[in-house]
Structures are given as structure tokens and as C-alpha cells.
Structure 1
Amino acid sequence: APHAKSSAHLPARILEGRSTDDDRNARGALGVRSRGVEPRARVQLSEDVRGARGQTKAAAAGPEMTTTMDGPLVLPDPKVKGAGLYAGIGDYVKVQPKRYAPKTLRETAEGRYWRAYKAPALINAVSQVTSLHFAETYPYQLAVTSSARVTVYNSQSRKQHRMFARFKDIAYSGVLRSDARAMVVGGQAGVVQLFDMNSRSILRKFEMHTRAVRSVKFSPQSYATIASASDDTTVRIWDVAAGECVRRHDGHTDYARSVAGHPTAQTTWASGSYDHTVRLWDNRDGSTSATMTLDHGAPVEDVAWLPSGSLLVSVGGQDACVWDVLGGGRLLRRLRCHQKTIMSCHVAADGGPPPVLEHGSFAARVGAGGGRATAPRLLTGSLDGHVKVHELDDFSVTHSAKYPGPVLAVALSPDANALAVGTANKLLSIRRRTKPRSHALGGGGGDPGFHKVGPSGRRKAPRRLDAGSWQYFIRGMNAKAAEGDFKVKRLRSVRLQAHDRALKRFRFTEALDASLAGGRPEVIAAVIDEIAAHGALSKALAGRDAAALQPVLRYVMKHIGNPRHTRQLVHVAGMVLDIYGGSVGASREVDAALRLIRERVAVTLRLHDSLAALAGVASPLLTVGQLAAYRAQ
């Protein structure tokens, strides 16, 4: 009791740098030796002293009193949040994760947007996936063509919904009607078949092609019109109601591999062929010849219209060509962004992140409209295993994704929440956004009843309650405080993490284990610093068996090469070797982890040497460049 009175003010005096007889007496009473007796010791309060003084006073005086190896007693500053265990008497301050300088931005907003397509559903197909097509209406079913079957998946659950296998040979180009109630499929046998989605029965068969039908499409404006492109070099237009061919277009001199209907003109079609040309057909005149011929320069694998219908995209070889159809068929841009043949292209009317567009920008002109700026994107898939996204304002590549095989087909759902890719090694990948795009774009509004609207259409401001109104006296607990009201802050209990709960009880080993289990390097580094500030890092590391030592060694091995953690982890690794150096060889797991740490350190040192040599080589070049720029100015 006599010592308790003098020791109650001990932390404040130590922080101010004063040393009095009362302080020395308090140190003696609390079990902390003076520097004259043991200058390099790190001594903490014993458990029985803490229990005798109570948790509050122990928190105020005990844990903060630590002698260091290099100077006088050092205490955390209670004014700095997260600097120590306690900000005041009895107030615990949670350990704040380490904060570092931000890294250099290596990824654009577009890249982050496309990387939100995660958790791919990888489905093994029976053969290579040759065609993908999403329905235009919810739930945006996906038709996947592979070998002699067409499988329909639900794009929301990514589970199989229907399977069509009534084909004598390989099926090609399964395409769903916009209402997803019918599907048209080509095939190796040269037959175009129309299926009912509910009963899976064949509604129509068109058998006038003499070779394989590689591409079929519904007219964007009519359910009753179908177009097909065949290896017999012809493009045919079919009337579903009559069940017959109403137009045959001859002009290609090699296999016709793709066909696409104009988004606004029902009578206009485009087809691509292995004769290196893209031809435009108009069904209004009686002629069977093309109204426009575009030279792609390589066998054409696929064609697609942009939403406005003024531009056409053709892909083949290593190039993707953008044609200005309304401008007489001039080549607007040739994109060479793949190392191998481009097999598929897909135009999404609103597939990218919402742009901030200036008036009259290209993306705004070709977008689908609808009251807000759209973000049309061009997706291309190639045999080099890459899917690349092109922005249609300057046709630059904004994102690239690598797949484990040659890409044969790519498609994006109309709501831009599902991305499907088919490869030549029998793999179907369906990626979905972790957060729906409508929410990511900030869709949705506030409560429609938030403001009352008067007869004139103007919003009425809510009436201010005062003592002259009876509503003032019947306010409930949810009423908002008005001007002049006294506000009493509600004391909220602070939720502590596992490592914070352990630190609050001075269980440093448990705190270190809890932070390592969490896995966040910033939190682990902060906990290690907190434990080291109390001189208990060696205690937290000691007394571990092989299983308990493994998480520490794994963390050191993983992050010792990171410049943000190198200084701290070198110290931790040194302490581990000092404590357990005599036990090396007793555990294979520990020995293997130590070898990995040694290898990681060696690799990091070699990397530093290489970077130093590179800096020496680059320095003269940079100097010459700076001199040239200075002389030019």
C-alpha cells in the first residue's frame, strides 16, 4: 500500500523523463531492477504482482515499463493510436495493421474490372469447343457446341440445363433465339436443324447445302429468318415459316466460315470466307452477287457487327480488321495483337466499365444508347491461348487473359456478368463476376419515399420539429437529433481479434500464433512489433515444437524477400536460429523449412546483384539521354 501511492504516477513521470526516489522505490516494489544493477536486462511484471495490484493498475503501469538494451526505459506514446497496448488507464487500443507507401499502380481500372471475373467453372467437354452463344433474355442461357452435341448451361448457376445429341455427325454453331425458346444448329452433314428448347424436338430441317454448315444465325429483327454459311461456298437465307430457302448468295470462292446479320437492317448480311474476303449481301434486290467486297488479307474465321451497324469487324490470321461500311468499306483499323490465328470475336454492346466520355466521342457514337454512356468492347480469342479485350474508342488492348489451351470460341453474356471461353483441349471456362455488374456500376437508387413530392412536382423539405408541435413530444427512439438537442454518445463495445484478445492478457505466444493464422502480413508485422516493444519476442518464439514452429518459418520464408518486411524478418530469423540452433536435425520439416529460407535469401541476394549490375549498365544510357534532351531544349 505505501508503494502503490507513489507508483500510481510512475508512467507519467517516466514519459516526462524524470527520475525520483519515489520512482526508484516503485521500481523496487514492482520487481523491476534499476539500471545500475542490471543495465541490459528486459524484465516485466510478474503474474502475482499484476494480480495483487489489479488489472486496471497493472494495465496502466505494468506492461509499459520495459528496460531496453540500448537506453533508458522506453514507453509507447498513448497519444498515438496503435502505438501500444493502452491509450489510457484501462483503455485497450487495438493493434493497427502496418501501413506502407502505396505501390506503383500497375493495373488500370479496366484491368481491375475484367479481373473481377473470378471463380471459373472449368467443364470438360467431349471434344474441342467450337461455338459459344448466350441468349439475349434472362437467365441468359449458354449454348455450347462440342463434337456431336450441343449442351445448354444456365449462366447463373453454370449447371447443365439441356443437351441435344440428335446429330449424325459433328455439330457446328449452336445459336439460341433471342427469347431462348428455339435453337438452330449446323453440322458436318450439311443440314441446318431448328430445335424446340422445351421438348428438344426438331421443328425444321434445311437440307440444301452440299457440305458442312459452319455458321448459322437468326436474324436480329425476325424469328422467321435464318442465315447459314457452308463449306460449299454459298450463303443461304431460310424462311422458317415456309421451311425453304428464299435466297442463295454465290460469290465466295472458298469455304464460307461465318455469317452475321446487320443489327438494324433486316435484309443485310455479312459473311467471311477462306478466300480472304468479307462480302456484304442485300436481300432486297434480285441479284445473288455481293453488294460490297472487303479484302481481309487472310482466311476469315469470324465476323461481327458493332452495335450501331456502321462498323464491321472481321478476324482471321493474326489480324482483326475494323471496316467502315457506311464510308464505302474503307479499312478503319487493322489490329495485330495476337501471335497466332484469331479464331473468334465477340462484340459486347455494353461490356466494359462505364466510361467518362466527352461529347461526340467514338464510344458514345457506337454504343447502344439508352440514357447513359455505354462501354462497347471487342473480345478476340486466338490459338495462342489469349483472350484480349479491345476498347472501341482508340481500339487499344485494355486487358488480356491467358487460358490453358488454344481458344476457339469466346462469348460475353448480355448483362456482362458471365464470360465463357472454349478451347481446343476440350475445356469450357465460365467465369462470373464476384459482384453483379449492375451493382458495380452503381445501379439502383435511394428510397423513393425519402422525400415527399407536392402537386407542383417539387420535393418538400421535411418539417423541423420543435416544442410548438405535438409530434415533438411523441418522438420515438429513432428520431434524429435536432439543433439544440443534447447528444449522448453510445458506448459501443469494441470487437477484438484473436491476437488482440491475447495481447490484452499478455499472452504473447498465443498472440503471435493467432496473427499467423490470420495470414495478413501487415497484421503479423504489427503484432511482432508490439511483442518486441514489450521485450517478449524471444519468449513468444521459444518453447515451440516442430508443428508450432512451422507457421513461423513459413511466414519468414514467404516474406523475407519483401523489402517491406526484410529488416524485421531477418531479426526474427536470427532469433529462431539462436533459440533452436542446437536442435537442427531433430525434425525433417523444420530442416526443410530452414533450407527453403536459406535458398530464398540466396535468390534475393543474387537478384540484388543482378539489379545492381543492370543499374550500372543503364546509368550511362540514361545520362546520355538526359544530355540529349537538355541540348534539344
Structure 2
Amino acid sequence: MSQFKKLNTKKYLKTGKVVTPDTIYWKQLSVPTLVKEFGAIDYVDFSPIEPYYFAVTCSVRVQIYNPITKLVVKNLSRFQETAYGGTFRQDGRLLVAGDEQGLVKLFDPSSKNVLRLFKGHKAPVHRAQFTQDLLNIASFSDDRIVKLWDIASEKATLTFAEHEDYIRAGAINPMSPDTLISGGYDGKIKMYDTRTQQVSYSIDHGSPVESLLFLPTGGIFISAGGTEMRVWDAFAGCRLLTKISQHHKTITSLRLGSNGKRLLSGSLDRHVKIYDVATYQTVHTLDFPNAVLSLGVAPDDQTVVAGMVDGLISIQNMEVDRSKDEVTKRSKNKPQPLTSMNIDHDIREGVLPKLSKYDHLLRKYEYVKCLDIVLTPYFARSNPEVTICVMQELIHRKGLHRAIAGRSHEFISRLISFICRFIGEHRFMRVMIDVGMILLDVYAPQFHEFTGELGKDFIRLAGVLRREVKLTYDLLELQGCLELLQTASASSDAVDELIRFVTSENDQLKQSAQAKESSILTV
């Protein structure tokens, strides 16, 4: 008697995330180190010089952390009320911050002394930044005013009052100290030219602006407000280039990474999205335990810091994965076992394969019990590929009709739920369509008897089938449109080639005619 062969269940490829070089790169970030502060983290900024300390603004102080030890090395606490937007100067020697009283304070981080105190705003100053020439400071305040301060004289040299609501975002052009932009809760973005002392452009973001950022070239800047980021061309009259909407809650912070090749956005949805600046496509996502208010990235992505609404600071350092190299070295150095004798034949004792329960039932032709087993939650939810393979085997044996007929309402309802769940899965679609057709063939004469929950299940199955059919037609229409575009593109290329050919032929004919004419005149 021949041995029974167990059912060969297919290993379907699971539709998972596409692994890209960016995914591998950003997964090298270490496990986050969480540090608790007193109050929401308003702003995070990295020093541009080694050892790349970062300043965290929260509550009534600005604390400077060492990214390696994750400990506070300096504490700037010369604030009577809430501090905002502690930012390093481009040479890392000075730090500026605003506060709730409308003051702008300039610190020496090494000595913790206040070097300058700029007074003039009548409302909280949430952001302050150094200009590119290192000689001035631009402050953006809730009194709807942007001021430019001279560091040496401690006086305001320019004042712009163009907004109609709080100003919570600002940026300085990295290539020009004379250009700055501000974003307000009125949804407007203003670009100023300090040479003409006028507003160069005024554009509408469409929602309250939370963050502004120039790309390193200075020709493009990005605004974030609501759930959308917008990319603007500063050289072409602030023309809108594209819109990016990958968050489902307000975007609070923008930062550049990978030396300006990647853009990071933090949001209240607890995610940090990373984009390729060349295509503005999302390449990776970082998850955090709470809403992200601020974000900081060290040069060369050595450290990524996120500040959250509950006062938590997440610190992640970039680590190089050396585990694979160590395993390879160990395997190379491991001595190989030596064989004591040469073996001509290796005779192994035959071991019967262990059959599962559904294989035993298939062997005994007990199709009803076999189908009951594979529709249990263990298989139907965790291992649906086994259920699909058993159903396919029953179809091949022409036994699925017998396994489905005369069943209880509870079983039919369970089978319909399984079909509705997996009929849209491309791996299982063909088998699910066959199972659904057999189910309808078996119970078609009894449809008028089905009432209550079972009747609703069949109605739900009909609705799922209609949606799948509509989706198929929509995809076919899309395919037709793409083929039409492809054909039009190919035909336009052919027409262009024909025009070039005719033009070249005409040129040759003209040249030959001119040559003949000149020869006739010469004669």
C-alpha cells in the first residue's frame, strides 16, 4: 500500500514593507533614551560644532545636553517666565532665546551669562534666530511684529508689522543675511528684504503656520501648518512647487538631516516622517510614545532628538551594526570537524512524516470534519494559507460541495466571514471566488428560507462582491488610460522623428539645388 502524502501547503509571500537603503540606514538608530523634563519641550537645537551639544528649551530654562552621556552640562535659567526657542549661533559660541515677557536674551553658553537683553516686544517671543552674517538677531513675537536687532548696539534696526495674528515661525535664508521669512497663525507667510525694508512677497499657506525651514541652497523653503507641508520656490516669486500631506495631525517641527538630503517632520500624531528632498517621498517613519512638539538632528545624523508634549525627550544615537561582522569572523575562525573515515554510502532509517489533523481527515475522506478544523480561529486568523490550501484540495477532489451542504447557520456565517475577509487578498482571490461560487450553488434553492443574521451575512457577501467587481472595473479603466498615454507618448516620439527626418531631407535637397545652381551660373 502506497504511503499517504501530506498536504503541501503553499508558502505565500506576505505583503510587507519594502526594505530600502533608507530603512536600513535609519534603523541603525539606537533604542531611545527617554529623559523627563518639567513641562512640554518647546524647542530643540543642535550646536553646529563638535561635540554637538544640543539645547532643550522647556519651562523656565534652556538646558544643554551632551548627546553621548545624555546628561545636562549647562543650565541657562535666567528666565522669570516660560522660555522659548533656544537657538545656537552658526559658530556655536552664542545662544539666543525668547520668553513669555517679550524679552530676547543672548547667552554665552560656556559661562551661562546674559550678554545682551533686547526689549521691545509686548507679547511672548516664541522664535529668535541669528542672521547669516552673525551680526543680527531676528525675533518673531505674538504681538504680530518681526524685529531685527543689532547685537553690538542692542537696538532694533528694523520692525515689520505685517501679520494679523500670532507669529510662531521664522527662518533666515542660509545664503543671504538680507532675506528672512515669518509665518503666523493668520496662515500667511511673509518674505522680507532688509535692504529695501519692505515685504518682498506674501503667500497663503492655508492654515496656521507652525514651522518654516530653508533648504541649504536658499532657493527653496518649506512651510508646515495643519497636516500639510508646502514647498515654495523663493527665486520664482514664492511659487508653490508641491504639497506634502503624510500626517493626520498638526505638524509642529521641521528639520534637515543627512547633510540636507533628507527632511524630517514631527507631528502631534506621534510620528516623525523622513522624506527624500529630491522627490519629497516618504522614505522612513519614526514612532514616539507621545505627541512630538520639537525635533533636532545632529550633523551627519549622529543623534536624533525629539521633544514631546509631556516633557519627555527621546535621544537616539546612530550606531553601526557590527554584529554581522562579528558572526562572520567567528564562523571563519571556528575549527571544522574532521571525519575519521571516508563514507561510501549513508543509509538512513526511514521515518514516516508526522501528519496533522486535517491530513488524517483528508486521508479518511472525512471532508466535513476537515473543513471544520481549518475554519477554527487558529487557522482562519493566524494561518489562513492552510485553510486556503485545504479548500483548494477539496475542490480538486470534488468534495467541497459535500463538505458545505447541510451545515448549520453558525458554520455558514463563519464561512461567509472568511470569504469576505480574504476575497480581496490577491494571494487567495482565485480560491475564494471558487469557494463562493460553490457556496451559492449549494444554498441557492434555500435563499428564501434564510432570515435574521444569516440573511444579513449573504447580503454582506453580495456587497463585498459588488465592491470587488467595481474595483476591478476601475483598475481596468486606469490601465486603459495608462496604455492610452503610453501610446500617445510613443506616437508623439514617432512624429518628432518623422519631422526631424523630413527636415534633414529638405536641407539636403536645398544644398544640392544650391550646388547645381552655382555650377550652372559658373558655366
TM normalised by structure 2 equals: 0.63
Question: How far is the alpha carbon of 1:248 from its aligned partner?
Answer: 1.0
The equivalent of 1:494 in structure 2 is 334
**Residue correspondences, number:** 369
CA distance in 2, matches of 1:226, 1:409: 21
Question: How far is the alpha carbon of 1:207 from its aligned partner?
Answer: 1.1
Distance 1:612 1:412, change over 3 A: same
SS at match of 1:253: coil
Percent of matched pairs sharing the same residue: 31
CA distance in 2, matches of 1:630, 1:145: 51
Deviations 1:61-85 (A, max 9, x none): xxxxxxxxx9xxxxxxxxxxxxxxx
CA distance in 2, matches of 1:154, 1:338: 31
The equivalent of 1:138 in structure 2 is 50
CA distance in 2, matches of 1:345, 1:277: 18
Distance 1:624 1:334, change over 3 A: closer
Q: Identify the match of residue 277 of structure 2 among 392, 400, 404.
A: 392
Question: How far is the alpha carbon of 1:614 from its aligned partner?
Answer: 4.0
Q: Identify the match of residue 231 of structure 2 among 322, 325, 328.
A: 322
> What are the ranges of 5 or more consecutive residues in structure 1 without an aligned counterpart?
1-69, 71-99, 352-375, 440-491, 505-532, 537-566, 572-597
Question: How far is the alpha carbon of 1:348 from its aligned partner?
Answer: 3.1
The 5-angstrom pairing of residues 467-486 of structure 1 reads none
Question: How far is the alpha carbon of 1:347 from its aligned partner?
Answer: 2.5
Question: How far is the alpha carbon of 1:253 from its aligned partner?
Answer: 1.3
The equivalent of 1:335 in structure 2 is 244
Question: How far is the alpha carbon of 1:612 from its aligned partner?
Answer: 6.0
- Is this contact kept in 2: 1:221–1:264, CA < 8 A? no
Q: Identify the match of residue 245 of structure 1 among 126, 147, 156.
A: 156
CA distance in 1, matches of 2:300, 2:191: 29
Q: Identify the match of residue 176 of structure 2 among 260, 265, 269.
A: 265
CA distance in 1, matches of 2:25, 2:103: 41
CA distance in 2, matches of 1:294, 1:124: 39
Distance 1:281 1:616, change over 3 A: closer
CA distance in 2, matches of 1:218, 1:141: 18
Distance 1:248 1:569, change over 3 A: farther
The equivalent of 1:405 in structure 2 is 290
The equivalent of 1:126 in structure 2 is 38
The equivalent of 1:7 in structure 2 is none
Greater fraction helix: 2
CA distance in 2, matches of 1:379, 1:612: 41
Question: How far is the alpha carbon of 1:181 from its aligned partner?
Answer: 2.2
CA distance in 1, matches of 2:177, 2:34: 37
The 5-angstrom pairing of residues 424-503 of structure 1 reads 424-435=309-320, 494-495=334-335
Matched, 1:418 2:303: yes
Deviations 1:296-348 (A, max 9, x none): 11111111101111111111111111111111111111112111111111133
How big is the alpha-carbon RMSD for the aligned residues of Structure 1 and Structure 2?
A: 3.7
Q: Identify the match of residue 136 of structure 2 among 206, 213, 225.
A: 225
Deviations 1:427-474 (A, max 9, x none): 1111111129xx9xxxxxxxxxxxxxxxxxxxxxxxxxxxxxxxxxxx
SS at match of 1:119: coil
- Is this contact kept in 1: 2:251–2:265, CA < 8 A? yes
CA distance in 2, matches of 1:161, 1:257: 28
- Is this contact kept in 2: 1:221–1:263, CA < 8 A? no
Question: How far is the alpha carbon of 1:239 from its aligned partner?
Answer: 1.1
CA distance in 2, matches of 1:493, 1:348: 39
Deviations 1:47-103 (A, max 9, x none): xxxxxxxxxxxxxxxxxxxxxxx9xxxxxxxxxxxxxxxxxxxxxxxxxxxxx9998
CA distance in 2, matches of 1:629, 1:290: 49
Q: Which amino acid in 1 is paired with 2:181?
A: A
- Is this contact kept in 2: 1:172–1:213, CA < 8 A? yes
- Is this contact kept in 1: 2:258–2:300, CA < 8 A? no
The equivalent of 1:300 in structure 2 is 209
SS at match of 1:326: helix
- Is this contact kept in 2: 1:256–1:273, CA < 8 A? yes
SS at match of 1:136: coil
The equivalent of 1:213 in structure 2 is 125
- Is this contact kept in 2: 1:152–1:162, CA < 8 A? yes
- Is this contact kept in 1: 2:171–2:180, CA < 8 A? yes
Matched, 1:192 2:77: no
Distance 1:334 1:202, change over 3 A: same
CA distance in 2, matches of 1:319, 1:308: 23
